[in-house]
Every structure is written in C-alpha cells, then in structure tokens.
C-alpha cells in the first residue's frame, strides 16, 4: 500500500530534492530507527549540514536545551518555543514526515539531532522560555556538524556516594574493562549508564558478571528469501533462520554485587543489545524510560541515484521470545528528567538508581 501511494511521487519528481524527499517519505513508513538514507546531497542540504553549538531533548513534552556553548547565551532547561519564527511543534511535525523510527521516543530523539540544522555559517533565531517564564529571542550561528552528546561528557568509571560504582559505557574503552572492574570490585552495586552508544564493551562487561555458563542472552530471527512459484502442491509461506546468542565465557574474576542500568530513548541498537547481555548475566535492573526499540545489525542496499538505504536486517528478541524491536526495553523502575531538575544541574534518573541501589 505504501509503495503504491508513493510511486506517483517518484514519477512527479522534477529534481534531486523531490526524488530524495519521495524516498524519505516512503522510508518513514517502515517504523525502524535503523532506516536512513545517505548519499543524497540534496536531502542533506534540505535538512541542513551545520548545527548550532547546543543540544536539545524532548522533556516533559517540550524541546529543551540540555547543552549550550557559553557564546549562545542559553542555559540547560531553556525551552525552545519557536525556530526562525516557526512554532516548535509545527517544525517537529514537518520534519518527522521524513524520518523513520521504531518508537515515538526514538523519533523524538532523531528529530532533536537535526531540527536546528541549516547551512554552514547561517544564523539560527530561537525564541526560548527561561526559568522565570520570560520568552526572549536569541541568535546563534551554525558552524559545524553536530558532535553529539556533549551534555554527557562523563568519566568512564567512578565511585559514587554509598560505595556505589558507576560505569558510563559510552566512554568505557574495551582495553579499560579489566582495570575498571578491579577499581569497582568492592562496591556494593554498579550502575551501568546506557544512555549513549557503547564501544562494543557489553560482551566484555557481561562476562565479568555471569556466574553460569551457556546462558542465552538474545534470540535472533532472519528471514530467508525463497524462490517463488515452486512446482507441485506446496508453497512456502515463510522461511526464517532462528538462533540463540549466548553470553561469552571468561575466566576473569566475577563481580558479585547487584547491578543496574540507566536507559532512555538514546539507548539504541548496540546499547540495547548490551542491556540484554547485562540482564542475562547478572539480572541487571533497568531504571529510566523505554529505549529506542531498534536492536539488530544494520543491512544496506543502494537505489538509483547512488542513494544508500539502511535497515534492521534481522529481528532481535529477548531470549524467551518477547519482542524488543518497535517496543524498546521496559524499565523495571521508571524515572524521567524534569525541566526543573535540568535547570538545577541534576541527573534525576541517576539519582533514582542510586536510591534503589542503596536499598539492596
């Protein structure tokens, strides 16, 4: 149905931009956060290749500044009301038509990465509401491609009050895993921060938690392409390859304390897979909000015009068969940031995890 609806748009495309927007509009119907297009300069210029020195997230239903360079005059907790005169909700809805996402929370995250972009060197005009409720106009220059997650410039490992260990898997390098566990071996619990993209350390970390061998961590399903029109009275309805992925085995010393993991819409793909490994290895408790719901390796193909399209080439489920994609990891304890907490410099999700860990 989607293909039939979009074919006339391809036929009407009069230039590279109209063709690229036709592709993007069709891809948005896939409901897969791994779906994206690359290689279209026209689409890249339409979205904007330069970002301002600030970051935003959807918090309490509104786009809120989470990081801003000093020269912008903005502060964490400022709520963006208009962008170049366009009301923020209208701008978000307009751009959302061109992006695929597995879940509503993942779509919010995707849009927040690009919605303030524009041409290099251009001026971005924002109307923002500050803590006093005053709305003011701010002009910010776009200068570079987005550098991502500057609001999360956190150390890889530390010990928090109450003798609770903390590991930021976005910063933890594989070579530092053994050293980090040695540092945190006597803590009463460890909080793993999965609100960013890990450096392929989930497997190494899980191996330091697992007390048993041959523990299933994830179930995979891949479709098998079959030739059509088989002769006789048999027709293949569906063919797929299904397999279990087990935790890696390790002779390294095991951490025996309780573990928690912080998750939200930024927990996607490898981060979600790391969470599955942590849950299987040590019964890790999830704190925060639902993840993106886009686990699975990325597959790619190219369409006319040199545009490359990526997508989730396999289905990843919990080892017991429960759905993960298009659902997301479900927190055991829900916790959300607030605008007031952001303005006060607090990490309310981490605070919630610390309170839970102190009760172990």
pLDDT mean over 124-131: 97
- The answer to whether the CB of 219 falls within 8 A of the CB of 244 is yes
In this structure, how many other beta carbons lie within 10 angstroms of the beta carbon of residue 235?
9
Euclidean distance between CA atoms 153 and 52, whole angstroms: 18
Query: Per-residue pLDDT for 228 more than 80?
Result: no
Confidence at 153, pLDDT banded by 50, 70, 90: low
pLDDT value of residue 231: 63
pLDDT score of 70 more than 80:
yes
Q: Residue 236: pLDDT band by 50, 70, 90 thresholds? A: confident
- Is the pLDDT at 148 greater than 60, yes or no? no
Query: How far is 243 from 47, CA to CA, in rounded Å?
Result: 39
Q: What is d(CA 37, CA 336) in angstroms, rounded to the nearest whole number? A: 31
Report the pLDDT value the prediction gives residue 211, as an integer from 0 to 100: 86
Q: What percent of the chain has pLDDT over 90?
A: 87
**What pTM was estimated for this model as a whole?**
0.93
Task: Give pLDDT tens digits for 174-208.
Answer: 999 999 999 999 999 999 999 999 999 999 999 99
Nearby residues of 325 by Cβ (< 8 Å), 6 or more positions away: 32, 102, 293, 294, 295, 296, 312, 315, 316, 317
pLDDT at 128: 98
User: For residue 296, is pLDDT > 90?
Assistant: no
Mean pLDDT of 230-238: 72
- Give me the chain's average pLDDT, please: 94
Residue length of the chain: 360
pLDDT for 165 beyond 90: yes
> What phi and psi, each to the nearest 5 degrees, are found at residue 280?
-70, -35
Among 110-124, 157-171, 232-246, the least confident range: 232-246
Cα–Cα separations (whole angstroms), residue 351 to 79, 160, 275: 23, 11, 20
Q: Is the pLDDT of residue 152 over 70?
A: no
- Mean pLDDT of all residues in 276-288: 96
Residue 92 has phi, psi (to 5 degrees) of: -65, -45
pLDDT band at 226 (very low <50, low <70, confident <90, very high): confident
Of the pLDDT bands very low, low, confident and very high (cuts 50, 70, 90), residue 229 is low
CA 87 to chain centre: 25
Q: CA separation (Å) from 166 to 86, 160, 162, 187?
A: 41, 7, 11, 10
Q: Is the pLDDT of residue 130 over 90?
A: yes
Q: What is the mean pLDDT of residues 61-83?
A: 97
Strands 307-312 and 315-317: unpaired
pLDDT tier for residue 212 given thresholds of 50, 70 and 90: confident
pLDDT in tens, 325-350: 999 999 999 999 999 999 999 999 99
∠ Cα 182 186 192 (to 5°): 70
Mean pLDDT of 125-139: 97
Q: Coil, helix or strand for 169?
A: coil
Are 357 and 260 within 8 A, CB to CB? yes
Contact partners, residue 323, CB within 8 Å, separation at least 6: 317
| Residue 149 binned pLDDT confidence (cut-offs 50, 70, 90) | low
Long-range contacts of 343-352 (CB under 8 A, 24+ apart): 343/75, 343/76, 343/77, 343/131, 345/76, 349/195, 349/262, 349/264, 349/287, 349/288, 350/166, 350/191, 350/193, 350/262, 352/287, 352/288
CA separation, residue 322 to residues 58, 220, 327, 338 (Å) = 28, 11, 10, 31
Return the SS3 of 66.
strand
Q: How far is CA 89 from the centre of its chain?
A: 21
Q: 155 or 354: which carries more pLDDT confidence?
A: 354
In sequence order, what E strands does 60-183 have?
A: 62-68, 79-83, 86-87, 123-129, 135-141, 157-160, 164-168
d(CA 44, CA 153): 27
**Per-residue pLDDT, 82:** 98
> Residue 126: phi, psi to the nearest 5?
-120, 145
| Listed range (150-159, 238-247, 275-284) with the worst mean pLDDT | 150-159
């Amino acid at each position: 149905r989607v293909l039939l609806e979009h074919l006339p748009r391809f036929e009407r495309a009069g230039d590279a931009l109209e063709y690229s927007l036709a592709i993007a509009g069709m891809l948005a119907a896939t409901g897969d956060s791994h779906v994206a297009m690359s290689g279209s300069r026209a689409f890249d210029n339409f979205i904007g290749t330069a970002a301002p020195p600030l970051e935003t997230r959807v918090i309490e239903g509104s786009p809120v500044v989470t990081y801003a360079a000093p020269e912008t005059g903005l502060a964490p907790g400022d709520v963006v009301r208009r962008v170049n005169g366009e009301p923020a909700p209208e701008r978000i809805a307009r751009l959302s038509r061109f992006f695929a996402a597995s879940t509503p929370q993942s779509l919010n995250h995707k849009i927040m990465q690009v919605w303030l972009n524009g041409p290099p060197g251009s001026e971005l005009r924002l109307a923002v509401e500050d803590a006093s409720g005053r709305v003011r106009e701010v002009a910010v220059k776009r200068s570079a491609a987005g550098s991502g997650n500057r609001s999360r410039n956190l150390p890889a490992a530390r010990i928090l009050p109450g003798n609770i260990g903390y590991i930021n898997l976005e910063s933890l390098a594989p070579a530092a895993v053994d050293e980090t566990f040695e540092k945190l071996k006597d803590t009463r619990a460890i909080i793993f921060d999965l609100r960013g993209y890990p450096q392929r350390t989930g497997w190494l970390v899980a191996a330091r938690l697992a007390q048993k061998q041959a523990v299933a961590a994830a179930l995979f399903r891949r479709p098998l392409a079959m030739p059509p029109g088989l002769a006789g009275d048999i027709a293949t309805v569906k063919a797929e390859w299904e397999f279990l992925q087990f935790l890696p085995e390790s002779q390294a010393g095991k951490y025996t304390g309780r573990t928690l993991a912080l998750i939200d819409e930024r927990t996607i793909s490898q981060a979600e897979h790391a969470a599955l490994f942590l849950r299987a290895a040590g019964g890790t408790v999830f704190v925060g909000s639902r993840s993106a719901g886009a686990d699975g390796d990325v597959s790619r193909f190219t369409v006319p015009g040199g545009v490359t399209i990526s997508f989730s080439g396999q289905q990843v489920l919990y080892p017991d068969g429960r759905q993960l994609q298009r659902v997301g990891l479900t927190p055991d304890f829900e916790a959300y940031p607030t605008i007031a907490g952001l303005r006060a410099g607090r990490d309310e999700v981490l605070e919630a995890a610390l309170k839970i860990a102190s009760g172990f």
